[in-house]
Amino acid sequence: MNKILFFAHLRDEAGHESVEIEAAGKTVAELKQMVAEKYGIQKLDTSMTAINEEFSSNDEVIKAGDTIAFIPPVSGG
Amino acid sequence: MNKILFFAHLRDEAGHESVEIEAAGKTVAELKQMVAEKYGIQKLDTSMTAINEEFSSNDEVIKAGDTIAFIPPVSGG
Amino acid sequence: MSERYSRQTLFPPIGKGGQEKIRSKHVLMIGAGALGSGNAELLVRAGIGRLTIVDRDYVEASNLQRQQLYTEEDVAEKLPKAAAAEKRLKAINSEVAITAMIADATPEKLAELIDGVDLIIDATDNFETRMAINDISQKFRIPWIYGACVGSFGMSFSIIPGKTPCLNCLLKTVPLQGMTCDTGGIIGPAVQMVIAHQGAEALKILVEDWDAVRTSFVSFDLWRNQYTSMKMSKAKDPGCLSCGEHPEYPYLDVENMTKTTVLCGRDTVQIRPPKQQQLNLQDTAEKMKDLGYQVKGNPYLVSVEMDDNRMVIFEDGRALIHGTKDLAQARSIYQRFFG
Amino acid sequence: MSERYSRQTLFPPIGKGGQEKIRSKHVLMIGAGALGSGNAELLVRAGIGRLTIVDRDYVEASNLQRQQLYTEEDVAEKLPKAAAAEKRLKAINSEVAITAMIADATPEKLAELIDGVDLIIDATDNFETRMAINDISQKFRIPWIYGACVGSFGMSFSIIPGKTPCLNCLLKTVPLQGMTCDTGGIIGPAVQMVIAHQGAEALKILVEDWDAVRTSFVSFDLWRNQYTSMKMSKAKDPGCLSCGEHPEYPYLDVENMTKTTVLCGRDTVQIRPPKQQQLNLQDTAEKMKDLGYQVKGNPYLVSVEMDDNRMVIFEDGRALIHGTKDLAQARSIYQRFFG
């Protein structure tokens, strides 16, 4: 299983701070699409992704037990 | 083995940000005395102690693998 | 001077040598809103040698809740932020050479201002300007510090050309509809927390303590008690068009910029985003209503009433800002919502 | 008002209801130094109903590097901090009822001010006052927020009577020679970071979002890129004399306080700490020399020359402050070094 963490407005859109999901073997891009559909999140494709607190590209493949965080860039200032 | 972390001026006094030490079975009070002598730290007795990121009293007994952090209260403001 | 900065020179990583370095440096601050006013005050108090601060907006009542250089009097006088900031900063520290510019930080403006600058601090409210800062930073090899916040959430990252990944490595494209303070709200402590991170990084860079510069991307949520440090060792993209092997600095190219035109003979500015968008007009209308604006719409457009302006938005992201001929003001209004 | 706080009411955990609550609350700020001026500005901008701010000191040149309400003019006029703070805070937000007190926050003074207060914010520079705040908080069931910083290091903890452990649970005793900004230096960003934490906790408490209040003890080092959250579930001491089953509020007892006396017929104040100490005079002398003071000593005492005063320290922690008859000023000088 994998733990998925949502930051900032993604959490409000998802309705959860974190969820458990089976994502091993999927790429980050695939996971984003799956999560976006399942939790009704609109702009997940532009979000940054951390696997185990390390920035990861859309091509990275997720392993069992990895914790994935979606951190959307924000622009306020 | 146990990892010991020094915060704020304790790090300057100890000359290290962290050290590895064998502390299993010792109380926090005993560890404080040992560390104070070994690293020449003056005011360790008034420092707060966290074991695995949880505040712990001087009577608490340390287990193998525990990470211990010494966080000195500071008064500037 | 020695008495004034005594508490800072007592801090060993700065010391008297570091203070001399701070005094010899020039920081370019892009924006004088919440992050800009806080970061500017911090550096001016710390004794920076020269500060250039650029902003296109006026002080409004809704700024006072979090923008620390401004007072009710500045609102009453409708002072430009750059001018109001300069006045306060000079009262705080008359030893600092302050240049305040009432201007839109376009790529041309940035290129004009970059000469002699040691560090750029990002205090803007939109990604288009950030991407231009990022390209300027790479082209002229000047570090910059990204910072942003919305609600109780915020983030910061230090970008050192030749060493760290750049913002274009991370984002690949300008995200339309990044959350802004005008859509998600903002609390003062989140602003202060971003300033704390940007300010500490700035001091490290100014005293040239390169080993101390944070290499991770920090994000936090003060209301939800979260703090996260994302390691960036795999983030650098060798093919990045901003910092890669064959840089093209795409965001300095006018082709990739939001275009603004005053419509002939009318008190209206047209705004066209760099790429065609496919906006969901119904969502946009509802969001604007939630924000308290009076909104009308039809299948082709959404019309939003503001104090002195009316904004009409089309499905492709194009907008008309009625009630102004000022390009910078129109861009400012647009980027409040599409930041 | 709605326009002024619009970005704050847009933030869902506050909203319009939360804004009304903030408006109806009274905060007591102990200290108007770095943390005090920053926290006060934050709450005044956020639209707090009433703020009482207490400080015993005058604005000095060395404050300007990090104390955000003050200007060079305040230094030139030697204004008391409370008065200078009040002037600036009123210019920022004339809707807030501000009471500024030039006073030493003794237990008696705290007891006098506590009536009607919803929250106390710690912005003091010494543990003796903090322990008195802690006891007042427990006795009158008013939450308080501990905050402190030195160098690039800082910490914060929210103390809610009946819910969290209290400062006396954690410290058991007043640590003599806690590091202060006058001995370890301080950088502005560390101040801002503590304010960000105290300010967010304050807003949560003021809008009564109790579930959001942080239960852990935060500490951080901005130069060393550290951030740590210490869980406090085991910290509450049932036998604590401040918050335990049989409270005695020891720090409201004059027996446990630093005693100050004007020496008869002389321009000198004697200071006697609550418990006999055993100071290492040689260490003390060297530390003072490192701080840039002119120091003389013999085996029985250390004498330190300051601008208008001379401080003589004895091995038992007793001190004479020459050149003043002002008890508060003398305590202030003493607690700069023995905070």
Residue A6 sits in a domain whose CATH number is 3.10.20.30
Least confident of B49-58, C29-38, C91-100, C175-184: C175-184
Q: Which amino acid is at A29?
A: A
- What's the total number of domains in chain C? 2
Q: Closest partner residue to D127 among B9, B48, B75, by Cβ?
A: B75
Give per-residue pLDDT as tens, D79-120.
999 999 999 999 999 999 999 998 889 999 999 999 999 999
Q: Which of D69, D192, D209, D214 to mutate to test the interface with C (most CBs of C within 10 A)?
A: D192
Residues C201, C324 within the same domain: no
Percent of chain C with pLDDT over 90: 68
Q: Does C65 reach chain D within 8 Å, measured CB to CB? A: yes
Task: Quote the tokens at residue D34.
Answer: 């770095």
Q: Is residue B13 part of a domain?
A: yes
Query: Which of the two residues, D185 and D264, has the higher pLDDT score?
Result: D185
Question: Span D113-136, mean pLDDT?
Answer: 95
Q: Which amino acid is at C16?
A: K
Shortest alpha-carbon distance between residue C22 and chain A (Å): 25
Question: Where does the pLDDT of residue C31 fall: very low under 50, low under 70, confident under 90, or very high at 90 and above?
Answer: very high
Shortest alpha-carbon distance between residue C197 and chain A (Å): 14
pLDDT at C178 over 70: no
Q: Is residue A37 part of a domain?
A: yes
CB pairs under 8 A between C and D: 194
- Helix H or strand E segment including C336: helix C327-337
Q: Are D124 and D162 in contact (CB under 8 A)?
A: no
Q: Closest partner residue to D149 among B53, B57, B77, by Cβ?
A: B77
- Helix H or strand E segment including D39: helix D34-46
Determine, for residues C130 and A75 on separate chains, whether the beta-carbon distance falls below 8 Å.
yes
Residue D270 has a pLDDT of: 83
Last residue of a domain, one of D252, D268, D293: D252
Query: Which of the two residues, C332 and A62, has the higher pLDDT score?
Result: A62
pLDDT at C177 over 60: no
- Beta bridge partners of residue C55, listed in sequence order: C102
Q: Which of C127, C130, C131, C150 to mutate to test the interface with A (most CBs of A within 10 A)?
A: C150
Residue C1 has a pLDDT of: 46
Give per-residue pLDDT as tens, A15-67.
989 999 999 999 999 999 999 999 988 778 889 999 999 999 999 999 999 99
Residue D264 has a pLDDT of: 65
Q: Is residue A36 part of a domain?
A: yes
Residues C151, C285 within the same domain: no
Residues D278, D188 within the same domain: no
Shortest CA distance from C217: residue in chain A? A55
Determine, for residues C152 and D46 on separate chains, whether the beta-carbon distance falls below 8 Å.
no
Q: Are C16 and C39 in contact (CB under 8 A)?
A: no
Shortest alpha-carbon distance between residue D103 and chain C (Å): 24
Q: Is residue C1 part of a domain?
A: no
Residue C181 has a pLDDT of: 61
pLDDT at D245 over 90: yes
Question: Where does the pLDDT of residue D182 fall: very low under 50, low under 70, confident under 90, or very high at 90 and above?
Answer: low
Shortest CA distance from C122: residue in chain A? A77
Q: Which amino acid is at D198?
A: Q
Residues D212, D287 within the same domain: no
Residues C215, C278 within the same domain: no
Residue D132 has a pLDDT of: 95
Residue D335 has a pLDDT of: 85
Task: Quote the tokens at residue D237.
Answer: 């001491």
Q: Is residue A77 part of a domain?
A: no
Contacts of A9 in chain C (CB under 8 A): 150-151, 179, 184
Per the listing, tokens 């100890």 go with: B14
Supply the CATH number for residue C310's domain. Answer: 3.30.310
Q: Is residue D205 part of a domain?
A: yes
Shortest CA distance from D198: residue in chain C? C189
Question: Where does the pLDDT of residue C254 fall: very low under 50, low under 70, confident under 90, or very high at 90 and above?
Answer: confident
Residues D264, D243 within the same domain: no
Question: Span C69-75, mean pLDDT?
Answer: 97
- Calculate the dihedral angle through the C-alpha atoms of A8, A12, A15, A18, rounding to the nearest 10 degrees: 0
- What's the residue count for chain D? 339
Contacts of C237 in chain A (CB under 8 A): 57
Determine, for residues B57 and D217 on separate chains, whether the beta-carbon distance falls below 8 Å.
no
Residues C202, C296 within the same domain: no
CB pairs under 8 A between B and D: 112
Q: Is the pair B, D in contact (3+ CB pairs within 8 Å)?
A: yes
Shortest CA distance from C222: residue in chain A? A8
Residue C124 has a pLDDT of: 94
Contacts of C230 in chain A (CB under 8 A): 48, 50, 53-55, 69, 71
- Helix H or strand E segment including D170: helix D167-171
Determine, for residues A76 and C181 on separate chains, whether the beta-carbon distance falls below 8 Å.
yes
- Neighbours, chain A (3 or more CB pairs < 8 A): C
- Neighbours, chain B (3 or more CB pairs < 8 A): D
Q: What DSSP assignment string belongs to C245-305? A: SS---GGGSGGGS-EEEEPTTSSEEEEE-SS-----HHHHHHHHHHTT-EEEEETTEEEEE
Residue D318 has a pLDDT of: 85
Shortest alpha-carbon distance between residue A12 and chain C (Å): 11
- What's the total number of domains in chain A? 1
Residue D1 has a pLDDT of: 46
- Distance CA(C47)–CA(B15), nearest Å, equals 30
Residues C241, C330 within the same domain: no
Q: Is residue C31 part of a domain?
A: yes
Q: Is residue A13 part of a domain?
A: yes
Contacts of B46 in chain D (CB under 8 A): 171, 173, 175
Least confident of C139-148, C291-300, D51-60: C291-300
Q: Which of D152, D153, D194 to mutate to test the interface with B (most CBs of B within 10 A)?
A: D153
Q: Closest partner residue to A8 among C150, C194, C217, by Cβ?
A: C150
Q: Is residue C303 part of a domain?
A: yes
- Distance CA(C85)–CA(C133), nearest Å, equals 21
Beta-carbon contacts of D130 under 8 Å, excluding residues fewer than 6 positions away, are: B75, D122, D124, D146, D167
Q: Closest partner residue to D123 among B8, B72, B77, by Cβ?
A: B77
Determine, for residues B9 and D184 on separate chains, whether the beta-carbon distance falls below 8 Å.
yes
Residues D207, D269 within the same domain: no
Shortest alpha-carbon distance between residue B22 and chain D (Å): 22
Determine, for residues D94 and C71 on separate chains, whether the beta-carbon distance falls below 8 Å.
no
Output b/e per residue, D261-293; b: 16+ Cβ within 10 A: eeeeeeebbbbbbbeeeebebeebbebbeebee
Residue B5 has a pLDDT of: 95
- Distance CA(C47)–CA(D72), nearest Å, equals 13
Give per-residue pLDDT as tens, C233-243.
999 999 999 99
- Which alpha helices (H) appear in B1-77, and where do they start and end? 9-14, 28-39
Determine, for residues D189 and C42 on separate chains, whether the beta-carbon distance falls below 8 Å.
yes
Contacts of C178 in chain A (CB under 8 A): 46, 72-75
Determine, for residues D178 and B73 on separate chains, whether the beta-carbon distance falls below 8 Å.
yes
Q: Is residue B77 part of a domain?
A: no
Task: Quote the tokens at residue D240.
Answer: 């604590």
Q: Is residue B76 part of a domain?
A: no
- pLDDT below 50 — which residues of chain B? none
Residues C237, C323 within the same domain: no
Residue C164 has a pLDDT of: 97
Supply the CATH number for residue D184's domain. Answer: 3.40.50.720
Q: Residue A44: exposed, middle, or buried by beta-carbon count in 10 A (0-12, 13-18, 19+)?
A: buried
Which domain does C300 fall in, by range?
Answer: 258-337
pLDDT at D178 over 90: no
Shortest alpha-carbon distance between residue D91 and chain B (Å): 24
- Distance CA(C63)–CA(C68), nearest Å, equals 9
Residues D133, D230 within the same domain: yes
The reply to whether C149 belongs to the active site is no
Which domain does B36 fall in, by range?
Answer: 2-71
Last residue of a domain, one of D252, D285, D311: D252
Contacts of C71 in chain D (CB under 8 A): 91-92
Last residue of a domain, one of C252, C286, C304: C252
Percent of chain D with pLDDT over 90: 68
Determine, for residues A73 and C170 on separate chains, whether the beta-carbon distance falls below 8 Å.
yes
Q: Residue C266: exposed, middle, or buried by beta-carbon count in 10 A (0-12, 13-18, 19+)?
A: exposed
Residues D241, D297 within the same domain: no
Shortest CA distance from A72: residue in chain C? C178
Shortest alpha-carbon distance between residue D33 and chain C (Å): 13
Q: Is residue A72 part of a domain?
A: no
Task: Quote the tokens at residue D6.
Answer: 């619009």
Do strands A2-6 and A67-71 pair parallel, antiparallel, or not at all (unpaired)?
Answer: parallel
